[in-house]
A and B are shown apart, each in its own frame.
Chain A
Amino acid sequence: MVNNADFVERFTASERVTHIVLFASLIVLSITGLTLKYHESAIAQWIIRLEGGVLFRGQIHRFAAVVLMATFAYHLLSVLFSAKEHAFFHDMIFRKKDFGCFAAIFKYNLGLQKEPPAFDRFSCIEKFQYWAVGIGTLLLSLSGLVLWGETLFMIVFPKWVLDVNRVVHSFEATVGFLVLVVWHLYNVHLNPRVFPMSKVWLTGKISKEQMKRDHPLEYQRRFGND
């Protein structure tokens, strides 16, 4: 049995729920969105039929988009009004040394550097993901809203802006999808050390041991140099 004292909280209940709602909505958005983008492929056609046709597909997509935007807004408000979340956001801000960390990881993996770069609460990889998802969600929400009310926005914008908007929505979604599926899933879940999955997103707890190894600066900050 592991002693509870060996574990510390990494994600609050609110953060975990936010994460679950976020990825649930993103999965739905990805499936309904990508099938539209690749509507010519046979698989997409099969999925669109499962989704109840192209119009109902749109309804599902917009419903999930509202959920995503609500999640985004909730997170924004939390960061603004909860001290804990404010600290979370503070820890996520890119610092000067984060820019060198990618190079350090490369060197470490190539064996040119003995020690891995030391991270605080969030590694540069995690920060990159956070900001990629944040900026992606913002861009996709805005361009998505314009698409949602395209007829209305036609009155405001010339058509070429709407055409560009559609391209942005489509490609930005692809970027987001790839960041999450390739980058996030590998780094957090599928990499050999935690394969098939890290449980932190469910329990919200991280062992002190793991913290010492993966987030030594945070460990130092919280528990000193023991």
Chain B
Amino acid sequence: MKQLWVLVAMCGLLWLPGFVLGADKDSVCVSCHEGPAYRETKDGKKEIVHFDRKELNDSSHRALGCKECHADITAVPHAKRLERVSCAGCHKEVSLHFQRGVHGAALKRGDKDAPSCTSCHGSHRIFRVSDQRSPVNRVNQVVLCARCHTDVEVQKKHKLPVDMIKAYEKSVHGKFTKEGRAVRAAVCSDCHRAHLILGPNDPDSSTNRTNMGNVCGRCHVQIFNEYKVSIHGRALKEGKMESPTCTDCHGEHTLTLVKDPQARVSAKNVPTTCAKCHENQEIIRKYRLPSNRYSSYVGSFHGVAMKYGDVTAANCTSCHETHRILPISDPESSINERNLPRTCGKCHPAMKDVASMGKIHVEAKKESSPGMYYVRGFYTWFIGILMLLFVGYIVLDVYGRIKRKGSRNG
């Protein structure tokens, strides 16, 4: 009989810590919140704060007790208004990132529209990012961000960009994500980061033009490597801020595949995309870029053929390369005199045997193309004088006929 009591006592001892610290330690909370519990809302109404233990048991926080998050509860019944749960205790680094980001800053300002941790991650039903049940999982993320970012009121109030989600959904990243065609097609956080979200003008922002390459380069490794050594990549690194980064040519949320005729980088649109800077007189002057690259292209056979829908005609990138654009002086450059035969030879095989080529973007200017300049000058005068003589002759002829007729009649 004594042995039995010892057994019972031992069981009790084993059970007691479990009762105090284990899953059941929340039984006090659950005793109210699994039944009706009330919270007073702003307008004084009572609202049930119902808590289903199952929700938490399902989540990645299943090992946590209520008080570990609702840390300001020291006694039951607790205060009517509880403090906002802080995740910073465990998620220290993430929390610092969030506070530095635009959402955190807005929250700090007391902005009612600003999202907190739970706005994105959920409260009790919280899952790992890799779990498809999580709202921040890449499958659900766009819908999550769109909740606020497509809200016209929020957009207006905070001067947020309009239509970017719509544009994203049409973009190659958006389409692939939606169709599930590419597991890793970029969603919001891939470019904007998850917590350290900053405006593009912030130098620390992932979407700042100085960092854009690193962002896109995470997936587009090869292309980024090519871009890095290009004149554009190097110039940007040297702090020449006008030099284009990925988004300047490809667009931001609107970016589509090259083969999409609407894309800024489609064969048809490449010339105008490059012309944004290369026809910009300010940029041309500042960096002493050669001028009239666009106009001389448009007037060329390549340009005309392209304009009338022959997308196989050469565009800027056909000769200058797409990402690895190098200056003519660089012996590696596709437009360096040495490499021109090979570059032209891509489309014109006979060109491979040409020893020297000469200027491609020609303008009828005295200094650069005297032959064209003088021949054009000659013809302009010739045609002008010829027309004057013709018209003069015709006028005189008609005059003579009328006069003679008049004198005959008279």
Contacts and interface: CB of A to CB of B under 8 A. Distances in A.
Q: How large is the interface on A (under 10, 10 to 19, 20 to 34, 35 or more residues)?
A: 35 or more
Interface stretch (B13-21, B156-164, B175-183, B392-400): B392-400
B350 interface: yes
Interface stretch (A107-115, A197-205, A209-217): A107-115
A54 B305 contact: yes
Given A54-B307, A154-B350, A167-B372, 18 more contacts: A53-B309, A54-B304, A54-B305, A55-B305, A55-B308, A109-B397, A110-B396, A154-B348, A155-B353, A158-B356, A159-B360, A160-B358, A160-B362, A161-B371, A163-B372, A164-B372, A174-B379, A178-B387
Interface in B355-373: 356-360, 362, 364, 369, 371-372
Given A109-B399, A111-B400, A167-B379, A54 B310 contact: yes
Interface in A51-76: 53-55
Nearest to A106: B396
Given A39-B304, A54-B305, A193-B401, A109 B371 contact: no
Contact of B400 (A48, A55, A110): A110
A63 to B, nearest CB: 18
A160 B371 contact: yes
Contacts of A23: none
Interface string B237-279: 0000000000000000000000000000000000000000000
B359 A55 contact: no
A178 B397 contact: no
Contacts of B353: 155
Nearest to A54: B308
A36 B379 contact: no
Contact of B375 (A109, A111, A154, A168): A168
Interface string B377-406: 001101100110011011011111101000
Interface in B193-219: none
Main secondary structure of the interface of A (DSSP, over half): helix
Contact of A182 (B354, B364, B391): B391
11 contacts: A39-B307, A54-B307, A54-B309, A155-B351, A160-B362, A163-B371, A171-B380, A171-B382, A178-B386, A191-B401, A192-B398
B376 interface: yes
A74 to B, nearest CB: 28
Nearest to A111: B403
Given A109-B400, A155-B354, A160-B371, A36 B364 contact: no
Contacts of B391: 182
B396 A171 contact: no
Interface in A155-199: 155, 158-161, 163-164, 167-168, 171-172, 174-175, 178-179, 182-183, 186, 191-193
Contact of B390 (A111, A161, A182): A182
Nearest to B394: A186
A193 B397 CA distance: 11
A50 interface: no
Contacts of A182: 387, 390-391, 394
Given A159-B359, A160-B369, A171 B403 contact: no
Nearest to B364: A167
Contacts of A83: none
Given A48-B308, A110-B396, A151-B350, A159 B386 contact: no
A171 B374 CA distance: 12
B129 to A, nearest CB: 52
